[in-house]
Chains A and B, each alone.
Chain A
Amino acid sequence: MNMSSAVASSPRLRWRNPSVLPGFGLTLGFTLFYLSVVVLVPLTALLLKPWTLGWDGVVSVVTEPRVLHALKLSFGGAAIAAIVNAVFGLLLAWTLVRYEFPLKRFVDALIDLPFALPTAVAGIALSALYAENGWVGGPLSGLGLKIAYTPLGVIVALIFIGLPFVVRTLEPVLADMSLDAEEAASTLGATRFQILRRVVLPALVPALITGTTLAFARAVGEYGSVIFIAGNLPMKSEIAPLLIIIKLQQFDYAGAAAIGLVMLLASFLIILALNLLQSAFAARR
């Protein structure tokens, strides 16, 4: 499994540059095997299942108004939550990297909470908080703003689970950024606002896009934390993963898989587009 085998098979392995390091075959082999068993083969089942309905069947499932609306809510809600997180994540990352204040370490550590807190627990906690008799929902409903059991509730839950992605991708970039460029710009007479807009922000954009993409990707398919706070009304606050569950309970596997397939494809395309955008920005710098 080391050099001799790599050399022996080198004509067939022209697709890789030669290396003296051992273990390529072993590690890549295991990677591919494990990837196939855990991810690819089961996902193939998802790809194949809907077609038992035929092309027309799949199209009619996913163009049903209720399904379209749920998809719109899942993708739209995830997008809004990702944008909110992009704005606030940027502010948070800036504050946590550039400023000193009491309890900073504690606040910084809390950012990761949504990674670690089980989604069902988050869902129960959020719905208890934002219901009309909750700590936050009470005062807000006094102002005429209802959060729990409306599409707003969906967005709140998605903001919760997406926040760490933006902050955690921005923080290291901000920490690495040298102050020289800012100082130079200032010496040349730029105002603080001009510096932020022309010097700081452009350097952050690629990481900001990456973080926002991750937050979006995580939010699109989210189920556990949303379901408790959404209200789940058809054509109003029903998310796409719930429709998958509903289809399953009607023993409609193909229909469930069809919605799953559309979600997978759509989020993949969006993530791909955002990745291209990100590398375009990264290249321009």
Chain B
Amino acid sequence: MRRPTEDSFFTRAALIAVTVGYVGLFLLLPLLIVFFSALEQGISAAFAALKDADAQYAIRLTLITAAIAVPLNAIFGICAAWAVAKYDFRGKSILTALIDLPFSVSPVISGLIYVLVFGMQGWLGPWLRDHDIKIVFALPGIVLATMFVTFPFVARELIPLMSDQGRDEEEAAVTLGASGFQMFLRVTLPNIKWGLLYGVLLCNARAMGEFGAVSVVSGHIRGLTDTMPLHVEVLYNDYQYVAAFAVASLLALLAIVTLILKSLLEWRYADEIAAVHRH
């Protein structure tokens, strides 16, 4: 006889069918069609598209952007989580709400705000031009927009984790005479490393894939300010469907690698990042 907390075979079968169907329809099919379209003319056509100079440049630009934006957001995430999780102070809930804010801002607006500040018609544009500093329509603008859309990712993972861990261990370390830096390196970091990695992973995936915000500040100069997602659009608009989907499948592959790493992390270190999922 089945246990009282177990559902009947029929219920289980039906729910599993719904789950597999829903995931298949909404998630798996879109992923499959990307690879399917990329390989429409064989694998060599897809590889040729990736070897194209503009595609190579777009890949490099995306990597550079992520290499700047992700570490900065990770450092910010650690600082913010430390301040929020380890101390009690007034205005803490406002601070956490503000950290989450970029999450509910439309990507289009995320790009627009930097144009309003750094564009020629904006606050700092004319001054920047006089001093020959380029922000929007150049790498700094792309990095800023990317930072904005991925802003909360690391902090969101770390705040609940560090709150859960409490401050006993760190307090003990300090009482025993450890300096702040030693305490962080020996006590805090080992405790949060997997949660941190997890946050960085998500942050990185989003950073490499951002389209809307970056497209507002990029200027779309081929081989100069086109990131991979923008290059997909360029190729798509150039009637180069296979090439477009080839670059897109590279991004999809990145998504899959992220998912695999993430699953591994979850599976291997479930306890240490469990708190992340409890909020």
Contacts and interface: CB of A to CB of B under 8 A. Distances in A.
Touch A–B, Cβ below 8 Å: yes
Contacts of B7: 98, 192
Contacts of A253: 116, 121
A110 B106 contact: no
A38 B18 contact: no
Contacts of A263: 106, 109
Contacts of A24: 83, 86-87
B23 interface: yes
Q: Could you tell me the dominant secondary structure of chain B's interface residues?
A: helix
Contacts of A20: 171, 174-175
B147 interface: yes
Contact of A221 (B87, B107, B148, B167): B107
Interface stretch (A53-61, A62-70, A124-132, A230-238): A124-132
B277 A125 contact: no
A4 interface: no
A268 to B, nearest CB: 7
A116 B205 contact: yes
A217 B101 CA distance: 10
B126 interface: no
B175 A21 contact: no
Interface string B52-76: 0000000000000000000010011
B39 interface: no
A99 B209 contact: no
A21 B151 contact: no
Nearest to B257: A116
Contacts of B228: 118
Interface string B190-232: 0000000000001001101111100000000000000011101
Contacts of A40: 98
A244 B109 contact: yes
Nearest to B201: A116
Given A22-B183, A27-B80, A183-B5, A122 B113 contact: no
Given A95-B19, A244-B108, A268-B104, A115 B232 contact: no
Given A49-B116, A171-B277, A241-B108, A223 B212 contact: yes
Contacts of B206: 115-116
B99 interface: yes
Given A110-B259, A128-B33, A118 B232 contact: yes
B140 interface: no
Interface in A179-201: 179, 182-183, 186-187, 192, 195
Nearest to B270: A175
Contacts, number: 289
A224 B248 CA distance: 14
A125 B106 contact: no
A32 to B, nearest CB: 8
B180 A38 contact: no
Most buried by A among B7, B20, B25, B108: B108
B195 to A, nearest CB: 13
Contact of B147 (A38, A159, A183, A268): A38
A7 interface: no
Contact of A42 (B88, B116, B171): B116
A221 B213 CA distance: 11
Contacts of B260: 109
Given A21-B167, A99-B15, A112-B262, A117 B5 contact: no
Given A120-B211, A182-B5, 18 more contacts: A15-B89, A16-B89, A21-B183, A34-B76, A38-B147, A39-B102, A92-B18, A109-B259, A110-B28, A113-B255, A118-B211, A120-B233, A121-B229, A121-B252, A124-B248, A172-B274, A186-B4, A253-B116
Interface of B: 3-5, 7, 12, 15-16, 18-20, 22-23, 25-31, 33-34, 37, 72, 75-76, 78-80, 82-84, 86-91, 95, 98-99, 101-109, 112-114, 116-117, 121-123, 144, 147-148, 151, 167, 170-171, 174-175, 179-180, 183-184, 202, 205-206, 208-212, 228-230, 232-233, 236, 244-245, 248, 251-252, 254-256, 258-260, 262-263, 274, 277-279
Closest 4 CB pairs of A and B: A221-B106, A172-B277, A118-B209, A16-B89
